[in-house]
């Protein structure tokens, strides 16, 4: 069984994008346009860099955490990134 990851990307315009995946490396390549499948949001904000990720045992937990992170302010997200660097 695969682990699920919640991740944050920093876009070229300094915005943050949050998502979930089972393969962070592949997903980063998708967001940067190296392979098909990136999000519309990141398509116009490339390049993006992976700045934070957190592992979860299942998709449900990862999606709940993603929703939680999407509700917090950018400054709270930045604090989370710094604390886990």
The tens digit of pLDDT for each residue in 14-31 reads 999 999 999 999 999 999
Q: Which residue has the tokens 């315009």?
A: 13
Q: What are the residue ranges spanned by the domains of the chain?
A: 4-83
CATH (residue range 4-83): 3.40.1440.10
Cβ–Cβ < 8 Å for 18, 81? no
Q: Is 82 helix (H, G, I), strand (E, B) or coil?
A: helix
Average model confidence (pLDDT) for the chain?
96
pTM confidence score: 0.94
């Amino acid at each position: 069984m695969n682990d699920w990851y919640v991740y944050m990307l920093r876009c070229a315009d300094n915005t943050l994008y949050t998502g979930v995946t089972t393969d962070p490396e592949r997903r980063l390549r998708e967001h940067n346009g190296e392979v098909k499948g990136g999000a519309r949001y990141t398509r116009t904000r490339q390049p993006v860099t992976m700045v934070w990720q957190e592992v979860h045992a299942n998709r449900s937990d990862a999606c709940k955490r993603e929703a939680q992170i999407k509700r917090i302010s950018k400054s709270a997200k930045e604090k989370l990134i710094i604390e886990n660097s």
